Structure 1
Amino acid sequence: MKQILLILSTIVMIPASQGEETPTPLFQTRTLYAPGHFGNSYEVMSRFEMWDLLEEAKFWGFNEYSDWFDTIDCADPFIDKHYNLAGALWDRKKENLRTAQVLGFARVLVITPNHVFLDQVRPEIEATKEGRIFGQLLCPSITEGREIILKNYRNLFEDLSKFGVHLNALAFCPYDYGGCACDKCAPWILTFAELTKEIHQIALESHPGIEARFIGWWWTPEEHQQFAEWADREAPGWAKAMALHIPYGKTGVADVPLPKGCERHAFVHIGYGDVSSDRDIYGHLGPVCAAARIAETVKNLRSEGVTGWMAYSEGVFDDVNKALLAGLSSGVYNSAREILETYAERYFHADTENRSEWASWLTVFGRPFDVDLAQSRKVFSVLTEGIDSKNWRLKQWALKLKMLELNSKIEASEGWTDSDFNLAEEYWRTKDELRREVWGLGPQRHVLADRFKRPSWAGDWEKARVLQKN
């Protein structure tokens, strides 16, 4: 039965008319990077939910799936006799990678080399930290530290192989979490390069043919130069691709040197709208839509000679942006608007009469604080009449609109009366409803937590609430 469903999903993946040739994708490599960590969607989703999500990702045009075993707060699952957090997370990642394999995705594991398990960090082998360098880090220039790092990856690679998962590529990232600022590791990018070469050799033992790729997140131009020179001298042809970091608010990659034969890829952040915002990112204000930014990004990446990308996703809140980036890159759709119309038709039961209105309604949320909320509410009420309220994709947009309405009322207030406190409580309750009832999330950590990316009024509200209690 599962094979029949897989065949059917393949048949409907490309919405081309009968007799037409399948369009040629604009980018050869279209990777959904969905790290399960920090309490996000991918950390809590069941394997069946992940199956459904990846089927939809395939429909829109993704052809690779990637995850990262973020070991923060985790003890080594290969020596822990109890089934704790690390074991549960790793088992879920194995299942997700196997699901991706069954569905026909290439599998990519992101590696932050010297980020280790919590119970492995000791003062005498710990990395030196500063600036970009933080996390549970060991110094790879200390023999014992390096041995622990290499053993960790041998365990992961061999366990995946035993589980029936074959990895196609490793994507190495030096920072967030990673690095060591000690004198022996300087310059870090070259110590990182040598360490990743060793890790890749270990991976080849259980995953023959696996490629070495790199993620340019937080690299400096000088580090790109150093790495390119090192690779051409010490490992010619080894680095297959570099996913270059696109800074917030930008829509293209920097012109930095790459090793000879290394493909220019892009690391595309799909977790915010058309403009960079500290308040509407990572799902803090609900789902996001970046129709203009993503269309411009695809256009620019093509002109810059980029041949592939990784879509950095922190949860299902960026579902529309997944469709936009993969759809525009697939060669199937001619515009972001066409994708939004198709999205509305597929998930919101839109028809030929209102699919265009849906596209317009979604598009303006690229700049959420400029939305005419009264008009948006009026249109939304008409468009959603009679639609099943259990539709999570629709429900998240309904709650975003409500949060924006409440936020606008609170910002317009000049003090903290009882009615203002009631509005704030309703705002937080609405956010709770979004996280718990729609997305099914647990405790949020790191940048996903409520202490970050807060509403403009949150600080004053906290102070006033303390005074109110006193």
Structure 2
Amino acid sequence: MDGLVELECRCLCPEAKEAARIAAERIGEISGSGAPIPFRLTFVERETEGYVLEIPASREAVIGAKRRRDFIAGLGQLLHRLLAAADPGCSGAKAVGVEVEDDGGQAASVNGGLSLQAGVWETVPSIKDRIHYMPGHFGNSFEVCWSGEMRRYLEDMALSGASGYGDWFDPNDMPDPYNPHVYHSTSMFLWRRKKEWLSYSQQLGLDNVLVVTPNVGYVDQMRPEWVGVRNHQLRVQGQVLCPSNPQAREVILDNQKRLFEDLMRSGILISKIVCAPYDDGGCACPACQPYYPVFLQLVKDVHDTVSVFYPGLKADICGWWTSEEESGQLLEFVNGPARAWFGSFQFSASYGVFELPEDIRVRTGGMNLGCFLHIGFSHDRRDVYTKTGVHSASRRIRSVLKSFGRSECAGFMTYNESFGDHFNAFAAGLLGWNPDRDVGEIAEFYGRLMFRLSGSALRKLADVLLEMEMLDGKRAADWSDTLRGIKREVRTHESQEWAFEQIWLKAELMRLDERIEQQLTENKDAAYPAMRERLSLTERLWRRVYGFGVLRHILIPERMLPDWHNVYCDLERTGNVGGIRSGVMAEDA
């Protein structure tokens, strides 16, 4: 099919140039039969805290905003309407401002051509900070992807209403890229790549955020006299340097100094840092106990060091693995040394959290509140990280965000570990503008934008995607049949072929897991063929779909494979051979 829309685009303000470029590409991807339909789009500067979408006539739109990212978010809403108008079977067309003919409820794009409902809509985000933290490390999607993939991914986040993008320059497994003895290293390549992603985020008008785990050092800095003490019970893991050792502390601060100086000289703007005490980080030596006050003093020293390059820099504190006692210590810090530059405390909404606690304001002493929102799993942690493909948690995310109002929570930073989190991040961005938005509508918008589906095929995809949230393995065979039936209608962008494959493979992997568990109760030998098939599809997901190579840390396969894999190893008579092991990982990581 050829392009459905012949776009005439006028950009009347510099801040909208990026939105106009994306509009030409994305609207040009809307396909249809017959002669192209002319459509005029104008971007104008307008005084608003969000964007104004004006449709003066059925084939004309004006997007007004003052910030670059808000022009792009407004374009996302226009795409939502255009894609619905191009769907002959759009039963909810009127809900997104599409004129519908009287004959059978067909959208006006059938025969009569594309037609949008006239009107003016101003949209202001309900939640101020809508940041997506997508660290490229551990061999995950954001580490192994290339420029075209990441640019498209970041554009999707901006179109769904993101306000910022975050990364972590993770020293684990990496030699110091700023040390003259390092030559053509992994860290050099990755640091350049991360700067490229941050530069493109900046081009989209997103706020750049860096996560800082202050005392995690490079692999060539793990000298016996500097290295920190790891301790499973005290939640200390990773390549840690001891902050109570004067020489090691100097190395810690110099690491941050060189990184932020490099970023500044590269023209990269940083809006804030988010400092995390654990995972990775911490030190269990006697001099560092209790650790949290040591961490807070280190945060102050890091801020003093890097704010030379970024005056006015704010610092959030991540609440991942933070205890009640530590929250009290943080309050003293916020009201004392950090008063001038503290941003917010990011309460950790991870496993089993569906809303912020009702007493969170009391528990945190009224300090500025944000949310560290884990979206790397569905309803619960059974599919966490990259175990089985796509994560679907739009209802869980909506539930958490709807509790922000009573808690006076100003924003969220989602935590992502793979392309499997794309749908959740997309949904979180839209829900950040309106936490009451219907998740079914979001799923259908996603299906149109990502897969160019329409009509009954679109509704089937949306139903499966939403059902997957509850991880009901008994439904997996039906999901697989449904997805196989609509697969021939799916059209993905060339840099996002993983997007549909990860949904279909999730259904297949869950279907096989259900069969294997049933067979194991009868005869473990009978489960062997299904195990082989399941592992083959797992390899397809990890290698061919996600492009994984060397997986590390939380993504090591022994943590990602089902419990029955031990039975499979026994049947294969392979077992765990040799003396190399990955170490003890915290159960709540």
TM bin, normalised by shorter chain, reads over 0.9
Give runs of aligned pairs for residues 304-323 of structure 1, distance below 5 A: 304-323=407-426
User: Structure 1 22/369 Cα, relative in aligned 2: closer, same or farther at 3 Å?
Assistant: same
Greater CA drift, 239-248 or 48-57: 239-248
Greater CA drift, 427-436 or 298-307: 298-307
Q: CA deviation at 1:259?
A: 6.6
Give runs of aligned pairs for residues 330-349 of structure 1, distance below 5 A: 330-331=433-434, 334-349=437-452
Deviations 1:275-321 (A, max 9, x none): 232xx111211111113211211212333221100100001011111
Residues 232 and 259, structure 1, Cα contact 8 Å, conserved in 2: no
Partner of 2:523: 415
Deviations 1:133-168 (A, max 9, x none): 122111212211111011100100010111110111
Partner of 1:276: 381
SS of residue in 2 equivalent to 1:214:
strand
Q: Which amino acid aligns with 1:14?
A: Q
Q: CA deviation at 1:362?
A: 1.0
Partner of 2:103: none
Give runs of aligned pairs for residues 219-368 of structure 1, distance below 5 A: 219-254=322-357, 255=360, 257-258=363-364, 262-277=367-382, 280-331=383-434, 334-368=437-471
SS of residue in 1 equivalent to 2:253:
helix
Partner of 1:394: 500
Q: CA deviation at 1:359?
A: 2.0
Q: CA deviation at 1:90?
A: 1.1
Q: Which has the higher contact order (CA 8 A, sep 6+)?
A: 1
In structure 1, C-alpha distance between the alignment counterparts of 2:401 and 2:539, rounded to whole Å: 34
Partner of 1:444: 551
Q: CA deviation at 1:352?
A: 4.2
Q: Which amino acid aligns with 2:207?
A: A
Q: Does 1:12 align with 2:75?
A: yes
Greater CA drift, 241-250 or 123-132: 123-132
In structure 2, C-alpha distance between the alignment counterparts of 1:318 and 1:38, rounded to whole Å: 16
Q: 1:434 aligns with which of 528, 531, 541?
A: 541
Partner of 1:172: 275
Q: 2:572 aligns with which of 454, 465, 468?
A: 465
Task: Using the aligned pairs only, state the percent identity.
Answer: 30
Partner of 2:150: 50
Greater CA drift, 148-157 or 3-12: 3-12
Q: 1:29 aligns with which of 129, 132, 139?
A: 129
Residues 398 and 435, structure 2, Cα contact 8 Å, conserved in 1: no
Deviations 1:52-78 (A, max 9, x none): 100000111111000001111111111
Residues 163 and 207, structure 2, Cα contact 8 Å, conserved in 1: yes
Partner of 2:68: none
User: Structure 1 27/332 Cα, relative in aligned 2: closer, same or farther at 3 Å?
Assistant: closer
Moved over 6 A (4+): none
Give runs of aligned pairs for residues 81-96 of structure 1, distance below 5 A: 81-96=182-197
Partner of 2:202: 101
In structure 1, C-alpha distance between the alignment counterparts of 2:338 and 2:433, rounded to whole Å: 33
Partner of 1:216: 319
In structure 1, C-alpha distance between the alignment counterparts of 2:243 and 2:228, rounded to whole Å: 8
Greater CA drift, 321-330 or 148-157: 321-330
SS of residue in 2 equivalent to 1:12:
helix
Partner of 1:128: 229
Q: CA deviation at 1:104?
A: 0.7
Q: Which amino acid aligns with 1:195?
A: L
Q: CA deviation at 1:20?
A: 2.6
Q: CA deviation at 1:4?
A: 5.1
In structure 1, C-alpha distance between the alignment counterparts of 2:400 and 2:469, rounded to whole Å: 14
Q: CA deviation at 1:187?
A: 2.6
Residues 377 and 393, structure 2, Cα contact 8 Å, conserved in 1: yes
Deviations 1:248-294 (A, max 9, x none): 1111334264476x4211111111111232xx111211111113211
In structure 2, C-alpha distance between the alignment counterparts of 1:259 and 1:211, rounded to whole Å: 19
Residues 63 and 105, structure 1, Cα contact 8 Å, conserved in 2: yes
In structure 2, C-alpha distance between the alignment counterparts of 1:47 and 1:263, rounded to whole Å: 36
In structure 2, C-alpha distance between the alignment counterparts of 1:467 and 1:342, rounded to whole Å: 47
SS of residue in 2 equivalent to 1:20:
strand
User: Structure 1 135/374 Cα, relative in aligned 2: closer, same or farther at 3 Å?
Assistant: closer
User: Structure 1 87/159 Cα, relative in aligned 2: closer, same or farther at 3 Å?
Assistant: same
In structure 1, C-alpha distance between the alignment counterparts of 2:341 and 2:332, rounded to whole Å: 13
Residues 113 and 196, structure 1, Cα contact 8 Å, conserved in 2: yes
Q: CA deviation at 1:423?
A: 2.0
Q: CA deviation at 1:365?
A: 0.6
Q: CA deviation at 1:409?
A: 2.0
SS of residue in 2 equivalent to 1:21:
strand
Residues 76 and 159, structure 2, Cα contact 8 Å, conserved in 1: yes
Q: Which amino acid aligns with 2:220?
A: D
SS of residue in 2 equivalent to 1:37:
coil
Deviations 1:6-60 (A, max 9, x none): 4343262333766533412121001100011110000111122211100000111
Q: Greater strand share, 1 or 2?
A: 2
Q: Which amino acid aligns with 2:142?
A: Y
Residues 231 and 259, structure 1, Cα contact 8 Å, conserved in 2: no
In structure 2, C-alpha distance between the alignment counterparts of 1:251 and 1:415, rounded to whole Å: 39
Partner of 2:45: none
Q: CA deviation at 1:125?
A: 2.2
User: Structure 1 373/47 Cα, relative in aligned 2: closer, same or farther at 3 Å?
Assistant: closer
Gaps of 5+ in 1: none
TM-score for both structures, normalised by structure 1: 0.93
Q: Which amino acid aligns with 1:284?
A: K
Q: Which amino acid aligns with 1:395?
A: E
Residues 402 and 436, structure 2, Cα contact 8 Å, conserved in 1: no
TM-score for both structures, normalised by structure 2: 0.75
Aligned alpha-carbon RMSD (Å):
2.3
